[in-house]
Copies of this chain bind each other. A is one copy, B any other.
Amino acid sequence: MAALPEKAKTLLDSPEFATIATLNPDGQPQLSIVWVERDGDDVLVSTILGRQKHRNLERDPKVTVLVCPKDSPYEYAEIRGTAAMSEEGGRELIDRLCTKYTGGERYAGDDGTDNVRVIVRITPTKVVIR
């Protein structure tokens, strides 16, 4: 396990978007843009049960997240780690992320769907700061 340097904490606590990488069944990295939150030295991301990211992480928990300040792309934090997933608190997390990134109180994107929200908890094994 690796501790998060202060710069990574600051980036993760600000409403900067992150890129997340998981591994597809053929080993090809899959990338997407996500909202992130920090819990101590862990990084939390929200996904949906059955979505590609979720299926990939069920099969292989290796995950890497990069957070890059929109206005300063040459400085960023790359966090490599291992994911553990849980449905508990999944709805609360997506609502908190919605508040952090949009100011809205409640995430409405799942309304009228059968989406089950999953918390992806990433425990860092290696952090690189540029």
A-to-B contact residues, CB < 8 Å: 17, 19, 21-24, 27-33, 60, 62-66, 68, 70, 73-74, 76, 78, 80, 125-126, 130
Contacts and interface: CB of A to CB of B under 8 A. Distances in A.
Given A21-B21, A27-B23, A80-B28, A33 B73 contact: yes
9 closest Cβ pairs, A-B complex: A21-B29, A31-B66, A29-B64, A19-B19, A17-B73, A21-B21, A29-B29, A28-B62, A31-B78
A94 to B, nearest CB: 15
26 contacts: A17-B68, A17-B73, A19-B66, A21-B31, A23-B27, A23-B29, A27-B27, A27-B60, A27-B62, A28-B62, A28-B64, A28-B80, A28-B125, A29-B62, A29-B64, A30-B78, A30-B80, A31-B64, A31-B65, A31-B78, A32-B66, A33-B66, A33-B73, A33-B74, A33-B130, A70-B70
